[in-house]
């Protein structure tokens, strides 16, 4: 999976079905830290393509992860700033075969 940020990678662990929606259970890896982060995605079939979109957000409800990431990236942040939330947007595109 490609990420926009060179510091962060996301590893899929499991996909759980729930009608049209799927829950992707995965791990966010940032430097030497790893955190569980799940995202709900919606699948759509268009012609012969499979397209899935989803997003999730970690805010102050999980301050342990935010604090760890803030400490990990603090030297790369502008002065007098800190991480308030972390988001994950997911878009998967595939071609179906017969």
The pLDDT assigned to 6 comes to 57
In a domain, 32, yes or no: yes
Q: What is the pLDDT of residues 9-66, one digit of tens each?
A: 778 888 888 777 788 888 888 777 788 888 888 877 767 777 888 887 777 667 777 7
Residues of the domain holding 12: 8-93
Distance (Å, rounded) from C-alpha 37 to C-alpha 54?
13
Residue 98 lies in a domain: no
Residue 1 lies in a domain: no
The dihedrals phi and psi of 47, each to the nearest 5 degrees, come to 55, -115
Total domain count for the chain? 1
In a domain, 2, yes or no: no
15, part of any domain:
yes
| pLDDT at position 76 | 79
3 domain residue, yes or no: no
Q: Is residue 19 part of a domain?
A: yes
């Amino acid at each position: 999976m490609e990420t926009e940020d060179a510091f962060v990678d996301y590893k899929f662990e499991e996909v759980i079905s729930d009608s049209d929606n799927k829950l992707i259970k995965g791990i966010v890896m940032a430097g030497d830290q790893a955190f569980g982060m799940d995202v709900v995605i919606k699948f759509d079939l268009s012609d012969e393509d499979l397209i899935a979109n989803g997003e999730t957000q970690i805010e102050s409800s999980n301050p342990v992860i935010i604090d760890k990431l803030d400490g990990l990236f603090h030297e790369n942040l502008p002065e007098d700033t800190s991480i308030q939330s972390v988001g994950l947007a997911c878009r998967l595109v595939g071609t179906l075969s017969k």
